[in-house]
Chains A and B, each alone.
Chain A
Amino acid sequence: MSIRGGGLDRKSKASSEIPNSSMADIAFLLLIFFMVSTVFRNDKERPITWAAAAATEKIDEKAKNILNIWVERDGSIWINDMNYPMEEVSDVVAPLYARSERHLVISIRGDRETPYSFMDAIQKELVSAGVVRVVFATELERQMTRARR
């Protein structure tokens, strides 16, 4: 103490840095906030080739109100990671639709080569489940590639 200017020197040393130990806490708070607020999808992607359309629009609905129905090339149907036969689609969708208070939007994710008979059967099932809003999931096609086609 007596060697280095008696206390005054020490005081100035304590205030010379911004305390950065709490910065990590702030960063972790942010990290945890983003991890908690991120909504993960409840189904895995099926291997399909997307159809392309220039009029593709984003679905104006919350992610939790969108139900994906995957239709593969061979006509097999996947809802929430489960394979269902065609006749059961309306029985599966109807309770989900009722639970969402009729806000549910069905996103039909059909392979571009799926024969239309399967897509028609899906639509008939959805009509009997009472669903009104349906989206045919597509990839955005640029006008440039469209002109070349």
Chain B
Amino acid sequence: MAVINQKKSKVSDEVPTASMADIAFLLLVFFLVTTVFPKDKGLEVVLPEQGEEIAVSQNNILHLIIRTDGIVEVKRGESTSIQQMRPDDIEALWRNEVTANPNLIAAVKTHPDAPHRFMIDVLDSLQLAGAERISLQMLEDI
């Protein structure tokens, strides 16, 4: 009996520290899981520098006029013929056009009242088609 008493007092004389590590890891995992990393993603464009204006031949411009209803009017250079299409069809159009003329520039002109997402749709299609020479403008002569 004396032996058992001695053993009991030995067990209880320190705070159990083995579970402290578990608590700390629980905290660690909690903070790791609840940390939300912001979504820094999007469509990158390079803005022109101030006063940078390059004269471009009308033959090298593909006008994409975005209407308020999201329909895109495609006009080649100075020709007056207008082709209407959906933003998704721009991707195939650009691939066709750029093989015919590698110097082509996409001039995206958006109606001031058109929602932002229609411009994003067109920009998306152009970037999917690998277009790099894109000019973003607002439609001025309505």
What residues make up the interface of A, taking CB atoms closer than 8 Å to B? 3-4, 20-21, 23-24, 26-28, 30-31, 34-35, 38, 41, 51-59, 61, 63, 66, 71, 107-108, 110-117, 119-120, 123, 126-128, 130-141, 146, 149
Contact = CB atoms under 8 A, between A and B. Distances in A.
**Ranked 8 nearest A-B pairs via Cβ:** A27-B24, A117-B112, A53-B124, A112-B117, A24-B20, A55-B127, A120-B138, A23-B21
B42 A135 contact: yes
Contacts of A38: 35
9 contacts: A23-B18, A24-B21, A57-B44, A110-B116, A113-B116, A134-B47, A138-B42, A138-B124, A139-B41
Interface residues of B, number: 48
B43 A59 contact: no
A59 B44 contact: yes
A131 B47 contact: yes
Contacts of A128: 50
Contacts of A139: 39, 41
Contacts of B120: 51-53, 112, 136, 138
A31 B27 CA distance: 8
Contacts of A116: 66, 110-116, 118-119, 138
Interface string B29-53: 0011001001111111111111000
A34 B138 contact: no
Nearest to A29: B24
Contacts of A57: 41-44
Contacts of A34: 28, 31-32
B124 A134 contact: no
